[in-house]
Chains A and B, each alone.
Chain A
């Protein structure tokens, strides 16, 4: 089966660092994606992990541990515009994808 868990809501302060965790149980797991979705808009790609370890992209980093079924998205130097829903998605080698319900991040001044 497929199951993705991530926190429903998080709050952080402008300029701070926040870590959004995601755990997954996915048959035929092949990769883990993170997407950002602002209210009323389509999801946009943030990062992608296939192998264990950390992928860094500017203010955003993502980590994957395949053995633990665990990933996190790290956002540094938070800005007000980072307030959005962050979706964790696991992809399988059969072309299927499972998205979590998203973590709504609120950045406060």
Chain B
């Protein structure tokens, strides 16, 4: 079985642009969570989606949005990119909504110039 897959692997954008990151969970997993990880720090929670509904939101501005599709895949959108948005964006899937072991994808490395 395939693990969590994310695309693209790397992305370079300029300030003010918009970006969409994609994630496919492990087959059978209904929960997808998004994290931002800056070098030298732990992952920061952005969103959790379960059964296509937002179940949790971290302390990120409204420029960050996400959605989950009927096949449980997910997209993370970031508008009006800032230099500080440069980071590794990790997607994690789990079988259930709460206290489930997270399986992480390899991430999308976003560079904002």
Choice from A30, A98, A101 contacting B98 with Cβ under 8 Å: A30
Task: Determine whether B107 belongs to the interface, using a CB cutoff of 8 Å to chain A.
Answer: yes
Q: In the bound complex, do residue A44 and residue B97 qualify as a contact, i.e. CB atoms below 8 Å apart?
A: no
Interface residues of B in 19-75 (CB under 8 A from A): 33, 35, 40-45, 48, 50, 55-58
Inter-chain contacts of B41 with A (CB < 8 A):
101-102
Complex interface: chain A residues within 8 A of B40 (CB):
101
Main secondary structure, interface of A, reads strand
B102 within 8 A of A: yes
- Is B10's beta carbon under 8 Å from chain A? no
Chain B residues in 8 Å Cβ range of A97: 33, 45, 48, 56, 102
Residues of B within 8 A of A44 (CB): 104
List which B86-113 residues lie within 8 A (CB) of chain A.
90, 97-99, 101-107
- Whether B90 pairs with A99 at a CB distance below 8 angstroms is no
In the complex, A95 Cα to B32 Cα: how many Å? Answer: 11
- Provided the pairs A31-B99, A42-B105, A48-B101 are in contact, do residues A87 and B45 lie with their beta carbons within 8 angstroms? no
Tell whether A87 pairs with B43 under 8 Å between CB atoms, given A95-B56, A95-B97.
yes
User: By the criterion CB–CB under 8 Å, are B48 and A96 in contact?
Assistant: yes
Chain B hits for A48, CB < 8 A: 99, 101
Bound CA–CA A28/B103 (angstroms): 23
**Contacts known (A41-B106, A42-B105, A96-B56); A91 close to B99, Cβ less than 8 A:** yes
Cα–Cα distance between A104 and B43 once the two chains are bound (Å): 15
Q: Which residues of B contact A (CB under 8 A)?
A: 33, 35, 40-45, 48, 50, 55-58, 90, 97-99, 101-107
* A to B CB contacts below 8 Å, 25 in the list: A33-B101, A41-B106, A42-B90, A42-B107, A43-B43, A45-B101, A45-B102, A48-B99, A89-B42, A91-B99, A93-B98, A94-B56, A95-B48, A95-B55, A95-B97, A96-B45, A96-B56, A96-B58, A98-B45, A99-B44, A99-B45, A100-B42, A101-B40, A101-B41, A102-B42
